[in-house]
Amino acid sequence: MGIKNAAKKTIAYAKRNGAKAAFFAAIERLSENRKEKYTYNELSEAVLNEQKQEYKVLAETGGALRFSIVVPLFNTPEKYLCQMIDSVVAQTYGNWELVLADASPVESDLVKKYMKEDPRIKYYHLGANEGISENTNRGIEKAVGDYIGLLDHDDLLTPDALYEVSRVIKKSMSRNHLTQFQTCPIRLIYSDEDKFDDHKNLYYEHHQKPSFNLDYLLSNNYICHFTVMRADIIKRLKFRKKYDGAQDFDLVLRACLEATLSMPMATDQIAHIDKVLYHWRCHKGSTASNPASKMYAYEAGKIAIGDALRKYGVEAEIAKLPHLGFYRVNYSEDIFFQRKDIGCVGGKLINKKGRVAGGIYQKDGTSVFNGLPVGYSGGLQHKAVVQQDCYAVDIRCMALRPEFAQSFKDIAGFEYEDTFSDLQKDVADTGLDSVQADRKAAYLEKINSLTEEEILKINLKIGEEMKRHGLRVMWDPQIVRKI
């Protein structure tokens, strides 16, 4: 990011959130920039040729699924249009069609030349611009592939993008002994991505994404690019004009919530590929370069989250966080009543030095964000300040679904007490009666008599118990307990 652009972002951030918050954000951003040593390593010709040969053998057996890549066009600069098309033509996996839905006033002679050279390129001049959602829907309607991928008109796919996606689908088909791609349980696949500065020919801001994380998705559209969805699902759900600007987020939310709030855990339905398969172009005026250029999109994203949750009976107020495109879900009632998929929820522990001292843990016991200053958001994706699923939270700041109170006692050896809810403003204002206060104090005293290792062991066993029952563990960093 250039100095001028960084200064503009800092000033805009200060106007929205105050000077103190802007100071911490600027310091953290400088720290992240110093640490970032990302290099996108292109695959060697040998690897690409090996993938092409593997596809050739697959195609000869008739077992190659077909992908449709749908791209809405609108007055796309020819330079970017060529590079986008070339990135699809360069795929090592060959069974694809590129569906170009063009809402530009004039038909593209350039695309017509491409069509003559490669019949897999399909071009549809729409005649009228109905907006990004409806324009994309026209392309989806024309798509005939088993799975449909979404690509912006000025972005780029890596040459192994479809190859890697096909591997995930084939693995699922084999594991489930299926032969029809339409019956594959995987409904959505997403990959890591980075940004591409076309003026400097520089790849940067590698977005290394986690495996599917529902509450993180409800905090921001971390899935983003490259997204591929089973054709029957995307054709049924489609894009909705009401959410233009956040139409991708709305679609992903609905596809994922359908698989998580109305069905069991979505581990077999939503897959993540931990490789960069998508380059998000950064140029003047693009959202990648200047997020504030589409403020309306963030409002649309907020509405999309609330609407998606309400469809499944979850009532909540969606609040915007200081960082553009990031949100917080404030549940209107007890979270366990609203979210039947959550087994426990925990908050953040802060030590006397004003640094994170625990609260969220990985399966191996690693304390995530440990030592991070309170004012820091956790990097470019602001993961330290957003609600998210995790393996375990800390019993020093935790609310547990009531039916697991006995399980807690079996694990910890003493009675469970809620150490989370009274830290929420709407609950804390009511106060605790003397009996509750004494009980809570005795509980915390009991915990404080344990070693950190003993506490961690209990935390992880409770997390394991939640997973055994197919329930999520949610971390809420806005709920803070000082230790």
Percent above pLDDT 70 for the chain: 87
CATH number of 45-301: 3.90.550.10
What span, in angstroms and rounded, lies between the C-alpha atoms of 280 and 273? 17
Q: Around 355, how many Cα atoms within 13 Å sit in the side-chain half-sphere?
A: 9
Which of the listed ranges 31-40, 56-65, 188-197, 282-291 does the model predict with the highest average pLDDT? 188-197
Indicate the burial class of 237 (C-beta count within 10 angstroms; 0-12, 13-18, 19 or more).
middle
What span, in angstroms and rounded, lies between the C-alpha atoms of 395 and 403? 16
Q: Which residue has the tokens 């330079």?
A: 79
Q: Is the pLDDT of residue 198 over 90?
A: no
Other C-beta atoms closer than 10 Å to the C-beta of 251 total: 25
Q: Around 454, how many Cα atoms within 13 Å sit in the side-chain half-sphere?
A: 8
Q: For residue range 268-278, what is the model confidence (pLDDT) as tens digits?
A: 899 999 999 99
Q: For residue range 101-150, what is the model confidence (pLDDT) as tens digits?
A: 999 999 999 999 999 999 999 999 998 999 999 999 999 999 999 999 99
What span, in angstroms and rounded, lies between the C-alpha atoms of 465 and 478? 25
Q: Where are the domains of the chain?
A: 3-35, 45-301, 333-482
Q: For residue range 8-61, what is the model confidence (pLDDT) as tens digits?
A: 555 554 555 565 555 555 555 665 555 668 999 999 999 999 999 999 999 999
Q: For residue range 135-189, what is the model confidence (pLDDT) as tens digits?
A: 999 999 999 999 999 999 999 999 999 999 999 999 999 999 998 898 899 999 9
Predicted pLDDT of residue 428: 44
Predicted pLDDT of residue 50: 98
Mean pLDDT (the chain) is 90
Q: What number of H helices and E strands is found in the chain?
A: 16, 18
Q: What is the DSSP letter of 476?
A: E
Mean pLDDT of the region 80-105: 98
Are 300 and 244 in contact, with CB atoms under 8 Å apart?
yes
Are 345 and 394 in contact, with CB atoms under 8 Å apart?
no
